[in-house]
């Protein structure tokens, strides 16, 4: 049996841009993606702490070390610059892979710089 588990989490990122004139997705600084292990075009769920919105989209890598967190296309309606969000990435695991499973979590500061990895 496959079960859905948290695999990676970006804890409290700050939205730096909201771009409605784009076809969709969320752009995330490539450095953050590498630290947490999320791949380009991978599905993520975003929870906006400011307005309670919760939505899914896919990731586009942003410029390395830019601190960029940009809501693109329709997701731009889900938050504004300055909003705080948590970004979750899930995966399906077989029961045989559950023992010892721990998600990778990165904690960001106000400028979207990684301050801790758990």
Query: Edge-to-edge strands of the sheet including 114-117?
Result: 17-19, 69-72, 25-29, 54-62, 43-48, 84-94, 2-14, 104-108, 114-117
Residues serving a catalytic function are 25, 58
Structure tokens at 116: 């801790």
């Amino acid at each position: 049996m496959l079960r859905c588990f948290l695999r990676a989490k970006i804890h409290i990122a700050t939205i730096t841009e909201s771009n409605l004139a784009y076809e969709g997705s969320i752009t995330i600084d490539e450095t953050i993606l590498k630290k947490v292990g999320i791949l380009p075009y991978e599905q993520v769920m975003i929870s906006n702490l400011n307005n309670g919105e919760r939505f899914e989209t896919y990731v586009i890598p942003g410029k390395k070390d830019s601190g960029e967190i940009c809501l693109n296309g329709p997701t731009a309606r889900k938050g504004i610059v300055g909003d705080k969000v948590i970004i979750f990435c899930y995966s399906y695991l077989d029961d045989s892979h559950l023992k010892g499973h721990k998600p990778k979590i990165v904690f960001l500061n106000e400028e979207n710089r990684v301050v801790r990895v758990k």
